[in-house]
A and B are shown apart, each in its own frame.
Chain A
Amino acid sequence: MKRDFEKDKKDMVVVEGSYAVASAVKSCRPNVISAYPITPQTHIVEDLSQFMADGEIPNCEYIMVESEFSALSALVGSSAAGARSYSATTSQGLELMHEVLFNVSGMRLPVVMTVANRAVSAPINIWNDQQDSISQRDTGWIQLYAEDTQEVSDMTAQAFKIAEDPDVLLPVMTCMDGFILSHVYEPVVLLDDDLVAEYLPPFEPEFKLDPKNPKTFGAFADPNSYTEFRFLQQQAMNKALKTIEDAADEFYDLFGRYYGGLIDTYETDDADIVLMAMGSIVGTIKDVIDTLRAKGVKVGLLKVRSFRPFPVEAIHNVIKDAKVVVALDKNISIGLNEGALFTETKASLYNTKIDVPVIGFMIGHGGRDIPVETIENIIDEAKKVIDSGISVESQFTDLKEELL
């Protein structure tokens, strides 16, 4: 993270995380917003609705729909028609969008959507983990994970810039931990409209759905060309690796705030133990690192900001000299007993010359609190791996044995 707090202080206001996101969306000058309420995302679209009612978002249509499936379907049409299009959702709402997620990415529509990460049912649970968005990792959307409310607000502008880049043209999910970020009030600098105008040029797609100049969007592709569509989507993801970095750098130049591009690091230079994580847990980990560093423990943090595209090279550069890597996942692939960050990091190391043990902990499911002691215990487990090798590759954290 690079940031001049002293400079930012005079512009800070205390607002809810959802408001910061809504305000950022407003500054990005959207043309169509589709909205369907679902906890903990509701405040974002409520705040946008208020902005609309107050006439603060000119040249924009706010569509109330009857489901999340419709929320995203509406944006397929609007984005194809050349409108900058936005929605927000979470959990079951995101899962209901599953089919449409593929349509948006396959049609290469640069929709931006905030996901206020929440656990999925059953059992019903409205609290935070990241199972909802991780379950959508193969839908062809770029996925960025934010650490705090300032980052998710700033990330919103970056997301439109990345999505609409002609080399990319992929939809972007900006993921913020539900409640932990969406409902917290803390000081943030809201985006300045003029600066955003400078940062984010108008959306001018090469092709538009326009009755005066008819075009077919979402056409049929038979076995002769379907493979190439998938290849081109993957190629766009590869190009996005650079675009995401550039968008973060350009943002820093204009706004003076930087949270990493594909990844960010904290105290990793000489770290023996590298913790990997995404989202708000990053803040807790940094605190633990400060405490342990004071005691001489060489521990650092690799924050993964972009989960799709998965930044293999950037990750390898950070972990290659570590003695152990620990991936923390607020999700699980049931049946593999691993979280996605762990699985993918481990897989990316196979067939390389990097020889570092990787272990995984699944943590914070359904809003289970993650106190510093839990992180400290995990670091103790990591130390054991350095001394005597891996005993358990991947496991649940803080299981309550008395309930089993």
Chain B
Amino acid sequence: MTIPPGGVCAPGSTLVNKTGGWRTFKPVYDYDKCIKCKLCELLCPDMSIDPKDDGFFEFNYDFCKGCGICANECPKDAIEMVLEEK
């Protein structure tokens, strides 16, 4: 691959470059507390929260940066930020 002028490229390349490794804390759901309000999905700045068939949500850890916005905004404290460990 050679670099075109200015590095213009096809969109969507961020899907190839997985960036979840930047994370220090990872969000984890407690589905017992979750009321399916959808706020976490809406507020995640990285679109790293996907809806599930049962109405709950799941994290896409390939891209979640661990910013903690979802946990901070959840009205039911249903998201815990857990330290990443090897």
- Interfacial residues, chain A to chain B (CB-CB below 8 A): 106-109, 166, 169, 206-207, 214-219, 221, 225, 228-229, 232
Q: Is the CB of A108 within 8 A of B6?
A: yes
Segment at the interface with A among B7-15, B21-29, B67-75: B7-15
A-B pairs with beta carbons under 8 Å apart, 9 shown: A106-B6, A107-B7, A169-B6, A215-B10, A216-B9, A219-B7, A219-B9, A225-B7, A228-B3
A214 to B6, CA, bound (A): 15
B11 and A206 form a contact (CB under 8 A): no
| B55 contacts A by Cβ under 8 Å | no
B13 touches A219 (CB 8 A): yes
CB of B11 within 8 A of CB of A215, answer yes
Inter-chain contacts of B8 with A (CB < 8 A): 207, 215-217, 219
State whether A232 touches B3 (Cβ < 8 A): yes
CA A217 to CA B11, docked complex, whole Å: 9
Interface residues of B in 32-48 (CB under 8 A from A): none
Chain A residue nearest to B4 (CB atoms) is A207
* A232 to B9 Cα, complex, angstroms: 16
> Separation in Å of the A222 CB from the closest CB of chain B?
9
Check if B13 sits within 8 Å of A108, measured CB to CB. Answer: no
CA distance A219 to B9 in the complex (A): 8
Q: Which chain B positions have C-beta within 8 A of A169?
A: 5-6
Task: Establish whether residues B5 and A216, one from each chain, have CB atoms under 8 Å apart when the complex forms.
Answer: no
Asked if B13 and A216 sit within 8 Å, CB to CB, the answer is: yes
Question: Shortest beta-carbon distance, A12 to chain B, in Å?
Answer: 40
A279 to B: closest C-beta gap in Å: 30
Interface centre among B3, B5, B11 (most CB of A within 10 A): B5
Check if B7 sits within 8 Å of A221, measured CB to CB. yes
**Interfacial chain A residues near B5, Cβ < 8 Å:** 108, 166, 169, 206-207, 232
A166 and B11 alpha carbons, distance in the complex (Å): 23
Give the residue of B3, B4, B7, B11 whose beta carbon is less than 8 angstroms from that of A214. B11
- How many whole Å from B2's CB to the nearest CB in chain A? 9
Bound Cα distance from A228 to B11, whole angstroms: 21
Chain B residue with the shortest CB-CB distance to A106: B6
- Chain A proximity of B21: nearest CB distance (Å): 13
